[in-house]
Structure 1
């Protein structure tokens, strides 16, 4: 009976909410206003779903929802917002890259390291000012696995992982948009590049790389990297009030 109630509750969820529960990932492009329904559905998850197997990935509430809300503030309700979130973690077969042996010394018998590439968040938003913002969050993980024999002859396996997070943001400006170098300059850990194309458009790119720590740090870095691109474009002057007829 409990399982049937939980199944019915799951079927009533927003389609992307349900996909996130069942597959730990989703990909969709919707009008900005339509994402509000998903955010509202996610907010009710703990009230309607109690089965441990159907818990939401932790990054849903800590990263995906805050990013959606921030982007919606700078978008028209009908503007397209595309989000690809893969919250399964890095250690799945399709994300695994090179695997190679590493030199070892006794008492270690053998060792190998495996590399994983996990682009777990990709966002594309058409903003109110006419620019297009793309954000990608990628984590690269190196896992080392050592086979060691202790003095009693027992073999133990030791595994150690190191993860690095890269956040990249690209903002494509409207044609002939003004660009000015901001003051003060960006911090040294934040790389910014400006590309002026022949068609009169300017593309701003920013990226940052560092240890993959907690989710709040991921959000802070994402907002800092993408926010830097807006420092290069002066705000539009307020529209002049209409003249009164005499």
Structure 2
């Protein structure tokens, strides 16, 4: 039995044909490249995206400052005294404060002692009683008057007052001379207490309290009042005079 010779196969590949029988155009090289995995054609947007992805995050002032702190090294810590030196420093301060306190105490006692020695009102009782009596008598005279005898009071004031006390009293009594006769005013003053606060040499400072009683016209009940004065007195040729009067 004879075998049939093998059929020759044409090397020409069959062209693709559609269902309608039309021949399809061969695929373009670009399509083959896309299908083979070459990827899409790069665009500016895609390049920018790739740059952001590969370049890392955009630096900010905060990140730059953090980088500077990380590269500049640690900040040096403030210098603290050695623990062994602290007790010595505190001891020195304590000594200085104690010395200052002692000095202030000594100066205070010295000033008090000097003031006490200069103020004879605390040590010289006869001199203190003398100035207190002289001032009390003077005030009783110049702050007591009758509407029909004002000249008597004026003469007494001229005798016991000097300086600013005499000037201010004269201005005040000028009103009394005018008003007292109209109201038939009679004023009586009596010193109830005196306190010699300072007595040095021929000068004294006193605090004086007065009780006053005033009768007007035919009034049966007198009006009473109290007064307080700061008095300065000066001794001239052995006699005490009132040189200043300040109501308090």
Coarse TM-score class (shorter-chain normalised) = under 0.3
Structure 2 length normalisation: TM-score?
Answer: 0.24
Of Structure 1 and Structure 2, the greater helix share is in 2
Of Structure 1 and Structure 2, the greater strand share is in 1
